[in-house]
């Protein structure tokens, strides 16, 4: 229990954090329980090894827990969830293909190596863990104590809540330890592959010079966009030549699809707005007439307000801006509303229940007393309080109970946006009412808190507010009307050719997306289009889907169609033609435009030539692209082109990616960096090692025949 108590010593709010964090593990168990008799479902395969949805889910839960501990976030947005899923999948792929390679050559990671890394405590994955000391450094002794205690736990003597917390923390550590092993194995493998990198003196010197030499350059350029595409003829032979030259850039590492889709957002109607206003008028009367001792949290829940009520007064900075703008118009216990806010399309009413002064930030020390016996909690906390008041060291007393007792700052912005009630509201309100140096002993549901206010910052005005904010939502009638109209259109246009021919005439926009891949999670940037995505990768070419409801609030209707399925491998020339056409056009425009530079020996002589733009580029460097205002883009070839020029000499016309240009070197000097042969060689090895590692992983990935079908389940 002492170890768990030490975990609790990170502050009373951490109890809430751990409690919420447990939800991932509880839901994980529930996920397994509700599907006990179904067949194993797979979400992909790696080198012929099928990956089950259950295995992926377990990894996902564990990594999500790591992210929670590392970032302090408890709830993730859909985008964050997708990023976590991608990271877990990437880790599983890399681990599988690396383990296959290392097993073939007998390369292993020993337990002793893992213990050494943990003992050193410097591995990045060990940062921001629950096993860090007060200064944020990994504390291996703290970890060892926890593991020893966990292994000796007598579950019959522990509460279910404490046991869940121990299990959650133990599973968290197992994930960390497993990733230490995987990362070390990968590092050893890459080190073995790149051990033969030995840069020679010439390469080292060249690396240094290209990095430190810088030039001020005068540029004259003409963007390719200044020449109309219609004036340039591109032949089939041109496309074939470009295809041969760029074939390696036209490789699909996974199957993808060219798709079309219609996205119909559903907006509230005038009738929907009028209905909400009438409802808000009734709710405003209820809020205004409610007695002061009303349970405003329940009242706002019943009113379906987007702003929850909190028993802790809030600073103006954490209130909605439209409410803050109207505060001066309301007396204490006064009402305002209903009013319309166009910035979030909402109707609003609020009641100012009162104001008070509170702190912007509070630094306090805390000792938690939770023995499971109320009388014992009171006796111990009273004893601690008396001892502190008599001058005893707060930290020394905390150490007796396996807690740090170190002062920590709590900014108001960390808790005010939340809906705070019960024990949390009790101790936060008490903190805000105390003065610097004051000590309090507060009884909570699960024990006592003894805390001391060590310092405070900025006493500010705070507001006890009951706010009803309701965004205007579309009604079922509005949604049904949009659905029926789209349904009639789809029923009479059942093929992709029909959609292409008739969509615009029916006021629907048919959108095209080439190269759509399954890992993209949504179609057209619309959230919750999983059903449409699954359909797309099960349908054949030319098929048109049914209508899918999508969007975070089911506020989109979507129809999708498969135009073409692009298998893994080189794209055929007919599919790559449109992508290559721009490259060929620019090459031909270069040939057309370069005659404008004929006869000029300096850029001054080009100043009056039609269409030429003059730029001065400062500190142009071999390794860095130069920005040209004429094309509003970076040109990577400028640095290499001028690196070998003599001062005041002008280049011949150069073919950039976005424009044709000539450059003239004005000045040349070096960044103030001394040459260090050993450091330069180490830098080359570092850069080359990363490039080799990336290329190697890419090749291993391709050879492993990765099949990513996560879209079927997640």
| Pairing mode, strands 346-369 and 447-471 | antiparallel
The per-residue pLDDT for 14 is 31
Average pLDDT over residues 581-592: 93
Average pLDDT over residues 69-84: 82
CATH of 272-471, one of 3.40.50.1110, 2.60.40.1180, 3.10.50.40, 3.40.50.720: 3.10.50.40
The per-residue pLDDT for 639 is 85
Average pLDDT over residues 275-294: 95
Helices (DSSP H) in 338-421: which residue ranges? 374-389, 394-400
Which residues are CB-contacts of 222 (< 8 A; sequence separation ≥ 6)? Answer: 593, 596, 611, 612, 613, 630, 659, 660, 661
Which tens digit of pLDDT belongs to each residue from 428-447? 999 999 999 999 999 998 88
Is residue 342 within 8 A of residue 360, CB to CB? The reply is no
- 0.75 surpassed by pTM: no
Q: Is the pLDDT of residue 20 over 60?
A: no
The per-residue pLDDT for 36 is 39
Average pLDDT over residues 396-408: 87
Which residues are CB-contacts of 618 (< 8 A; sequence separation ≥ 6)? Answer: 216
| CA dist list (Å): 625 to 21, 212, 255, 291 | 46, 14, 33, 68
Q: CB-hemisphere CA count at 13 Å for 679?
A: 5
Average pLDDT over residues 56-80: 83
The per-residue pLDDT for 27 is 31
CA distance 489 to 512: 19
| CA dist list (Å): 93 to 48, 51, 181, 693 | 12, 10, 15, 15
Average pLDDT over residues 486-514: 95
Average pLDDT over residues 522-535: 92
Q: Is the pLDDT of residue 23 over 50?
A: no
* Of the listed ranges 22-26, 124-128, 540-544, the one predicted with least confidence: 22-26
Average pLDDT over residues 674-679: 88
Residues of the chain with pLDDT > 90, as a percent, come to: 50
DSSP string, 553-583: TS-EEEEEEEEEEE-SEEPPHHHHHHHHHHH
The larger pLDDT score, comparing residue 282 to residue 69, is at 282
CATH topology of domain 256-266+475-567: Chitinase A; domain 3 (3.10.50)
The larger pLDDT score, comparing residue 519 to residue 452, is at 452
Average pLDDT over residues 174-182: 90
Average pLDDT over residues 214-222: 90
pLDDT level of residue 481 (50, 70, 90 thresholds): very high
The per-residue pLDDT for 175 is 87
Q: Is the pLDDT of residue 165 over 70?
A: yes
Q: Is the pLDDT of residue 24 over 60?
A: no
Q: Is the pLDDT of residue 642 over 50?
A: yes
Average pLDDT over residues 578-590: 91
Helices (DSSP H) in 106-196: which residue ranges? 111-120, 140-151, 160-193
Chain CA centroid to CA 231, Å: 45
CA distance 489 to 485: 6
Q: Strand pairing partners for 92?
A: none
Q: Is the pLDDT of residue 200 over 90?
A: no
Q: Is the pLDDT of residue 245 over 50?
A: yes
CA quadruple 392, 398, 400, 401: dihedral positive or negative? positive
CA distance 602 to 595: 15
CA distance 649 to 557: 61
The per-residue pLDDT for 32 is 35
Burial of 291 (0-12, 13-18, 19+ CB in 10 A): exposed
Mean pLDDT comparison of 72-76, 285-289, 442-446, highest-scoring range = 285-289
CA distance 400 to 5: 11
The per-residue pLDDT for 37 is 38
The larger pLDDT score, comparing residue 132 to residue 313, is at 313
Quick one: which of 577, 300, 508 has its CA closest to 421? 300
The per-residue pLDDT for 421 is 87
Helix (H, G, I), strand (E, B) or coil at 126: helix
Average pLDDT value over all residues in the chain: 87
Q: Is the pLDDT of residue 73 over 80?
A: no
The per-residue pLDDT for 40 is 67
Structure tokens at 673: 């960096």
Average pLDDT over residues 451-475: 94
pLDDT level of residue 1 (50, 70, 90 thresholds): very low
The per-residue pLDDT for 39 is 58
The per-residue pLDDT for 12 is 36
The per-residue pLDDT for 67 is 83
* Of the listed ranges 23-37, 118-132, 227-241, the one predicted with least confidence: 23-37
Q: Cβ of 284: how many Cβ atoms within 10 Å?
A: 22
Q: Strand pairing partners for 355?
A: 463
Q: Is the pLDDT of residue 17 over 50?
A: no
Helix (H, G, I), strand (E, B) or coil at 68: helix
């Amino acid at each position: 229990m002492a170890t768990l108590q030490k975990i609790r010593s990170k502050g009373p709010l951490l109890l809430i954090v751990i409690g919420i964090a447990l939800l991932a593990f509880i839901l994980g168990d529930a996920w397994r329980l509700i599907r006990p008799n179904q067949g194993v479902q797979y979400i992909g395969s790696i080198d012929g090894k099928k990956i089950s949805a259950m295995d992926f889910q377990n990894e996902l839960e564990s990594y999500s827990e790591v992210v929670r501990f590392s970032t302090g976030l408890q709830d993730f947005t859909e985008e964050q969830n997708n990023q976590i899923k991608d990271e877990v999948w990437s880790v599983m792929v890399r681990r599988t293909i690396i383990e296959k390679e290392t097993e073939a050559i007998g390369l292993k990671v020993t337990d002793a190596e893992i213990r050494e890394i943990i003992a050193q405590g410097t591995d990045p994955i060990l940062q921001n863990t629950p096993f860090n000391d007060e200064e944020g450094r990994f504390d291996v002794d703290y970890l060892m104590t926890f593991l020893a205690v966990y292994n000796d736990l007598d579950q019959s003597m522990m509460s279910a809540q404490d046991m869940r917390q121990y299990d959650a923390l133990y599973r968290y550590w197992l994930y960390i330890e497993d990733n230490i092993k995987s990362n070390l194995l990968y590092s050893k493998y890459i080190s073995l592959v790149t051990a033969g990198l030995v840069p020679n003196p010439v390469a080292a010197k060249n690396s240094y010079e290209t990095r430190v030499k810088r030039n001020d350059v005068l540029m004259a350029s003409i963007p390719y966009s200044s020449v109309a595409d219609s004036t340039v003829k591109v032949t089939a032979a041109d496309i074939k030549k470009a295809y041969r030259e760029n074939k390696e850039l036209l490789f699909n590492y996974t199957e993808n699809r060219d798709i079309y889709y219609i996205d119909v957002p559903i907006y509230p109607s005038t009738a929907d707005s009028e209905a909400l206003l009438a409802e808000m008028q009734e709710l405003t009367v209820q809020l205004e007439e409610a007695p002061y001792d009303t349970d405003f949290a329940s009242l706002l829940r019943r009113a379906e307000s987007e702003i929850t009520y909190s028993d802790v007064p809030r600073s103006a900075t954490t209130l909605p801006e439209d409410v803050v703008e109207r505060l001066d118009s309301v007396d204490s216990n006064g009402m305002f509303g209903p009013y319309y806010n166009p910035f979030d399309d909402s109707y609003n009413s609020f009641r100012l229940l009162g104001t008070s002064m509170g702190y912007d930030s509070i630094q306090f020390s805390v000792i938690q007393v939770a023995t499971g016996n109320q009388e014992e909690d009171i006796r111990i906390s009273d004893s601690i309080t008396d001892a502190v008041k008599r001058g005893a060291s707060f930290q020394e007393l905390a150490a007796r109970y396996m807690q740090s007792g170190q002062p920590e700052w709590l900014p108001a912005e960390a808790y005010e946006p939340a809906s705070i009630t019960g024990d949390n509201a009790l101790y936060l309100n008490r903190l805000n009412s105390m003065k610097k140096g004051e000590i309090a002993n507060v009884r909570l549901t699960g024990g006592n808190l003894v805390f001391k206010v060590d310092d405070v910052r900025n006493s500010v005005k705070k507001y006890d507010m009951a706010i009803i904010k309701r965004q205007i939502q579309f009604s079922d009638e509005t949604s049904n009307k949009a659905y029926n109209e789209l349904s009639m259109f789809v029923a009479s246009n059942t093929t992709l050719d029909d959609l292409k021919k008739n969509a615009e005439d029916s006021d629907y926009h048919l959108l095209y997306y080439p190269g759509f891949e399954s890992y993209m999670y949504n179609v057209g940037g619309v959230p919750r289009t999983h059903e449409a995505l699954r359909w797309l990768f099960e349908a054949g070419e030319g098929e048109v889907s049914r209508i899918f409801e999508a969007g975070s609030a089911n506020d989109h209707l979507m129809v999708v169609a498969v135009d073409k399925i692009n298998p893994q491998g080189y794209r055929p020339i007919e599919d790559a033609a449109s992508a290559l056409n721009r490259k060929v056009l620019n090459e031909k425009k270069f040939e057309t435009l370069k005659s404008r530079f004929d006869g000029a020996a300096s850029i001054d002589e080009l100043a009056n030539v039609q269409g030429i733009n003059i730029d001065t580029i400062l500190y142009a460097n071999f390794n860095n692209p130069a920005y040209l205002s004429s094309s509003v883009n970076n040109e990577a070839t400028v640095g290499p082109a001028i690196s070998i020029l003599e001062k005041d000499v002008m280049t011949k016309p150069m073919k950039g990616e976005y424009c044709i240009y000539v450059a003239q070197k004005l000045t040349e000097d070096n960044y103030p960096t001394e040459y260090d042969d050993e450091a330069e060689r180490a830098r080359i090895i570092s850069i080359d090692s990363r490039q080799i590692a990336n290329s190697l992983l890419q090749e291993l990935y391709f050879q492993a025949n990765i099949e990513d079908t996560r879209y079927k389940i997640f």
